[in-house]
Amino acid sequence: MGIFISIILAIDLYAFKGIKLITENIKPIYRQLSIGGFWFFNFLVYFAVGWLALNADKFRAPEYTNIIFSINAFILMAFMTKLVFNIFHGADDITYLASKVYHNVFGSKTNFAGDGMSRAKFLTLVGAGLATVPLGAFAYGFTKGRYNFRVIRKTLGFDNLPAAFEGLKIIQISDIHIGSFPKGHESVAKAVELINSRKPDVIVFTGDLVNNFASETEGWIDVFKNLKAKHGMYSILGNHDYGDYVQWNSREEKKQNLDNVKQANRDIGFDLLLNENRVLEKDGEKIAIVGVENWGLKPFPQLGDINRANQGLENVPFKVLLSHDPSHWDAEVLNHKDMDLMLAGHTHGMQFGIEIPGIKWSPVQYKYPRWAGLYEKGKQKLYVNRGFGYHAYAGRIGMDPEITEIILTSKQQNA
C-alpha cells in the first residue's frame, strides 16, 4: 500500500507542476481556483482510496458492490486523466534531459533559451486538452455507457442446418452480473423489453447471473421472468456463479448458495443445462442445444464435460454449444467437429475498447485471443458476447452492453 500511495503522490506532484505552468500568467483568482480545484479533486481520490483500504473486507458483500465498483471507476478515471496530462507535460522535460545527456557525452550545445519554456507550456496545454478525453469517456461510461444496451445482429450460414430451422432467431445474453446494478434500475427492464421486441425463437444465457451471491437476484427475478421465446430459454453457469471468490463458513453454505443460483435461473424461466442437452424438433427435423458447466483456463474450474453433454445426440445433425469461457473453444471444442456453433461470454470486452471500422482493440485481447464477436475455424463458429452487465468497475467505454441476435441459415453467409 505504501508503494501504491507513493506512486499516486508522485503522479499528482508532477501534474501539479504542469498546472502551475499553464496557470502562471492568468489572473491570481483564477490561478488559485485552478490549483484549489486540482487538489480538491485529488483529495476526493485519496478519500476514495482510503475508504477502499479500510473496507477491503466488504469487497464481495452485495450491499457494497455498487459503491465499490463506482469508486473503482472514479479512481480509474482520475488515474487515466492525469496519466495523459503527465505524458504531454513530461515530453519537454524528457527532451531537455536527453539534450543535456547528449551535451555531456558529445560536448555539443543545444540552446533552449527563449523557446524551451514556451514549448513546455504548449505541450502541457495540449496534454490538458487531451486529458479531457479519458475524463469525459469515464464519465460517460459511468453515467450512460453501462446502460446503453445495443443489439448486434449476425446471420450465420451452415451447410448442415435442417431446412425446418431456416431463419431461426437466437437471442444471446451473457454475464448479467445482476448484483452490480443499482437495485431496481430501470435499464434492466428496458433491456428485457428490447429483447422481447426482437421476437426471438430461442433465448440463451451463457452464464454469470451473479457476482458471487444468490441473494443478488432478490428483486430481479420478476423482471427477467418477462422474457419470452417461442421455442424455449436455456442457460448455463459462469465462473462467478459457483461462489469461488468468497470465503464461506462451510462447504454446505457454499453448496446452498450454488443451489440457490441454479434455482434463480429456473425461476426466471431458463432451462439450466449442466452438462446436458435439449433437442428442438420442428417438422420432423432436429437441432440440439448443448450446455456445459464452466470450463476455463486455470485457475478457473474445468467442470464442462462435452462428452457427457453430447450423449444421445448421435443422430442430431446440428448443434449449438453454450460454454461460458471462449478459451474452451481452442482447448477442447475444436476437437468436437459436431459442435457447429459455440456461444460464449466471460470477457466483457474488458468493458473498455475501440471498435470502429478497421480497428478492433481491447486490452483483454492479450489474455483472451477470442474476446468479442465472431470467430471461425473450418466449418465451426464461435460467437463471444460482450456482456449484459459489468464487474469490477461501474462503467463501459467503447464496449456497450450487448444483446446478440443470431439468425441461422443454410446459405453460406456471415453478416
pLDDT digits (tens, 9 = 90+) for 229-250: 999 999 999 999 999 999 999 9
Banded model confidence at residue 98, pLDDT cuts 50, 70, 90: confident
pLDDT in tens, 20-76: 999 999 999 999 999 999 999 999 999 999 999 999 889 889 999 999 999 999 999
Q: Which residues contact 154 (CB under 8 A, 6 or more apart)?
A: 374, 383, 404, 405, 406, 407, 414, 415
The candidate with the shortest Cα–Cα distance to 317, out of 274, 347, 284, 346, is 284
Give the HSE-up count for residue 124: Cα atoms under 13 Å, Cβ half-sphere: 22
Polymer length of the chain: 415
Contacts 24+ apart (CB under 8 A), 269-273: 269/224, 269/225, 269/227, 269/233, 270/205, 270/233, 270/234, 270/235, 271/232, 271/233, 271/234, 271/235, 272/234, 272/235, 272/236, 272/237, 273/234, 273/235, 273/236, 273/309, 273/322
Cell numbers for 133: 478525453
Burial class (CB in 10 A: 0-12, 13-18, 19+), 65: buried
> Residue 207 in contact with residue 251, Cβ under 8 Å?
no
| CATH entry, 149-409, from 3.40.50.300, 3.60.21.10, 3.30.230.10, 3.20.20.80 | 3.60.21.10
pTM given for the model: 0.93
CA–CA separation, 174 and 191 (whole Å): 13
pLDDT at 120: 87
pLDDT in tens, 284-310: 999 999 999 999 998 888 999 999 999
pLDDT at 110: 52
CA–CA separation, 392 and 92 (whole Å): 36
Domain segments of the chain as ranges: 2-143, 149-409
pLDDT at 96: 72
Q: Which residues contact 298 (CB under 8 A, 6 or more apart)?
A: none
CA–CA separation, 157 and 327 (whole Å): 23
Section 373-382 average pLDDT: 98
